[in-house]
A and B are shown apart, each in its own frame.
Chain A
C-alpha cells in the first residue's frame, strides 16, 4: 500500500517568515495530494489540495508544489501568522476522492509561529 513520509515533525519559524513542509510518497499511481490543518482539540480540516496533472497550486498565502518524477510534494506558507500554528498533515491517494483505500496520511508537522 501507499506510504507517506513527512518532514520535519516540528517546525518553528518567526512570525512573518515562510514555512515549508515536505512529503514523499511511495505509490507512483497516487494522483491526489491534499493537505489538512489540525488545530488543538479539533479534527483535521482541508486547506489545499493538488492533483497529479498540476505542478503547483496557490491560495493566498499557501501553495503546494508537486514533483511526480521524484514523488514528493510540499506545502509553502508565506508571511506566517500566529493563527498558522497547528499540526499539518499531508496525504496521498490513488483516486481523487480517496478511492477504495481512503487517504494515507503523513505523521504530521507541528508548526509553531514565534511572535
Chain B
C-alpha cells in the first residue's frame, strides 16, 4: 500500500485566499484524523471521522475551518479565508477499525504558509 497520501505537499498563499488540503487514507482504514503541527502548540487534533462521519470536531479552531469526507477514500480540509496564523504543517492520519488497533498512520503532511 502507498500509505496515506496528502496533497499538496507545500502551499503558499496570501491572506484571505481559500486553501484546500486533500487526503487519501489507507484503503480499508475506517478512521481518519486531521492534525495541525506548529512549534508553539505541537500536534493538535482538529477533527476525526469514523466511517466517513465526523465524530469530534472540537479541535477545529474556528468557523473558517471545515472538513469533509465524502467517501472512504477521500477527505478535505478547507480554510476560508486563510490567515497568517494558520501557517503550519497539516497532517492527515488513518487507522484501521476492528477490535483493537491503536496505530495511526500519518501522511507526509501539507506545509501551509499564509503571507
- Interface set, chain B 60-106, CB cutoff 8 A to A: 91, 93, 95, 100-104, 106
Cβ-neighbour of B42 out of A46, A49, A98, A106 (below 8 A)? A106
Q: Convert A30-61 into 0s and 1s, putting 1 for each residue whose CB lies closer than 8 angstroms to a CB of B.
A: 00101010000111111001000000000000
Does more than half of chain B's interface fall in helix, strand or loop, or is it mixed?
strand
**Docked complex Cα distance between A44 and B103 (Å):** 11
Chain B contact residue count (CB 8 A cutoff): 21
- Further 9 A-B residue pairs, CB within 8 A, beyond A43-B91, A97-B102: A34-B103, A43-B107, A43-B109, A46-B103, A97-B101, A98-B95, A102-B33, A103-B104, A106-B42
Chain B residues packing against A (C-beta within 8 Å): 4, 31, 33, 42-43, 45, 48, 55-56, 91, 93, 95, 100-104, 106-109
